[in-house]
Amino acid sequence: MAVVEAPPVPAADADEAAPRARTWTRGLGVAVPAALLALVAGACFLAPLVLPVPSPTGGNILEAGLPTGSPGHLLGTDPNGNDILSRILYGGQTSLIVAVTVNLLGLAVGGTLGALSGYVGGAADTVIMRLLDVLIAFPSLVLTLAVAQSLGPSLTNTILALGFFSVPAFARISRAATLSLREQPFMAAARLCGTKGWRVLLRHIAPNIAPQLTTFGMLGMGVVIVIEGALSFLGLGIPAPAPSWGNMISQGQASLSATPMLVLWPSLILFVTVLAFNLLGESLRTRWSVR
């Protein structure tokens, strides 16, 4: 069994001389982005509880459009007089929830479907993949508008609509990764040893396709946050006046040249978050693939 546990550990470490330094750097590679994410999440979820942050909605209309650095409003106010910093913090809660939920949904449902399809093969594979092909070929715009106009915008509807489209994506990637694993020697060995299907999936396939799926998921975080904002053009997304980074950006673009800060601030925090997710994804992948 030990033979088939995993691919052999490569002896590729050219700089074998400094294994300690490498582990240390690798540790840092996870710690730094994780700390960054913790900081962002902490600021969004905890700061409003602890610090006297003004409400993100219901601002004083007479204080509308204040510039960055105004007293009491560090990042200024939006056209309705709401504090931008507060909107970024509260909006972050929504955006992070949406991004994480959508990607987890895609990962869990799509990843499983894809791995199953790729591993089992045959008719099941054909049926699953063709059904997913229908979903992939179905323009998201139509569904989005249908959901928006018949169910109305809300957090749940937004997550469902976005999740609906992340499932086939994860499934395809997971299947592709599984396919290329299927013919690997350790898989054949596992089969020969009579290991049960679900066990192979769980113990051999899942850890091996995890890196690719993780990379994709981490990339997906930013994409989901941005698309959530774009949905508000079509009547879906987080309904106003509640903030999200995406809808702050999409509202701000209406007067981008005159009030660039309305777009810049949420874009900046989005950048930091996406960067952290990316770095984290990369470090995790490096860890997993070099066992």
Taking CB under 8 A as the criterion, which residues in 129-158 touch another protein? 130-131, 133-134, 136-143, 145-146, 149-150, 152
Q: Is 215 in the site for another protein (CB under 8 A)?
A: yes
The answer to whether the beta carbons of residues 78 and 65 sit under 8 Å apart is yes
Q: Which stretch binds another protein (CB under 8 A): 38-46, 156-164, 190-198, 253-261?
A: 253-261
Taking CB under 8 A as the criterion, which residues in 23-62 touch another protein? 57-62
For 20, 43, 151, 271, the CA distances from 37, given in Å and listed in that order, are 26, 10, 33, 12
Q: Which of 97, 143, 144, 136 is nearest to 114 (CA)?
A: 136
Q: Is 241 in the site for another protein (CB under 8 A)?
A: yes
Q: Which of 110, 131, 222, 100 is nearest to 176 (CA)?
A: 110
Query: Minimal distance in Å, beta carbon 50 to another protein?
Result: 25
Tokens 């070099």, residue? 290
- From 128, 226, 236, 238, residue interacting with another protein (rule: CB under 8 A): 226
Q: Which stretch binds another protein (CB under 8 A): 86-94, 125-133, 156-164, 193-201?
A: 125-133
In the complex with another protein, which residue's Cβ is closer, 46 or 256? Answer: 256
Q: Is 207 in the site for another protein (CB under 8 A)?
A: no
- From 22, 63, 155, 203, residue interacting with another protein (rule: CB under 8 A): 63
- From 48, 76, 106, 222, residue interacting with another protein (rule: CB under 8 A): 222
Query: Minimal distance in Å, beta carbon 187 to another protein?
Result: 11
**Residue 171 CB: number of other CB atoms within 10 A?**
27
- From 22, 26, 79, 154, residue interacting with another protein (rule: CB under 8 A): 79
The answer to whether the beta carbons of residues 64 and 78 sit under 8 Å apart is yes
Q: Would you list the DSSP string of 27-63?
A: HHHHHHHHHHHHHHHHHHHTHHHHS-PPPSSS--GGG
Which amino acid appears at position 137 of this protein? A
Q: CA-CA distance, 266 to 274, in Å (whole number)?
A: 12
- Dig out the tokens for 122 from the structure: 């045959």
- From 212, 217, 236, 243, residue interacting with another protein (rule: CB under 8 A): 212
In the complex with another protein, which residue's Cβ is closer, 101 or 247? Answer: 247
For 72, 113, 121, 176, 208, the CA distances from 118, given in Å and listed in that order, are 57, 8, 5, 7, 13
- From 1, 2, 8, 50, residue interacting with another protein (rule: CB under 8 A): 8
Q: Which of 227, 96, 246 is nearest to 169 (CA)?
A: 227
Q: Is 104 in the site for another protein (CB under 8 A)?
A: no
Q: Is 194 in the site for another protein (CB under 8 A)?
A: no
- From 75, 238, 270, 280, residue interacting with another protein (rule: CB under 8 A): 270
